[in-house]
Amino acid sequence: MKCRSVPTIITLSSMLLLAQSGTLLVAADHSHVHGDGHEAEYETHDAHEHGRATLTLVADSQELSLQLESPAMNIVGFEHAAKTKEHHQKVERALSALSEPSKLFIINGGKCQFIEPHMENPFSLAENKHGEHDSHENNDSHTEHDEHEDHHEHEAHETHESHDEHAKEAEHREFVVEYNAICQLTNDIREIDVQLLKLFHGIEQLDVQYIYAGKQGAVSLNPKQTVLEF
For the cut 90, the answer to whether the pLDDT of residue 213 exceeds it is no
**pLDDT tens-digit map of 35-92:** 333 333 445 555 679 999 999 999 988 999 999 999 999 999 999 999 999 999 999 9
Q: CA distances (Å), 78 to each of 53, 83, 152, 172, in order? A: 15, 11, 36, 10
Average pLDDT over residues 193-218: 96
DSSP labels, 89-101? HHHHHHHHHHT-H
Predicted local confidence at residue 124, as pLDDT: 86
Q: Which amino acid is at 100?
A: E
Considering the entire predicted model, what is its pTM?
A: 0.69
**pLDDT tens-digit map of 135-157:** 444 444 444 444 545 544 545 44
Q: Which residue spans within the chain are E strands per DSSP?
A: 5-7, 31-33, 39-41, 52-60, 63-71, 105-108, 112-114, 118-119, 174-183, 191-194, 205-212, 215-221, 227-229
For the cut 90, the answer to whether the pLDDT of residue 165 exceeds it is no
Calculate what percentage of the chain has a pLDDT beyond 70: 60
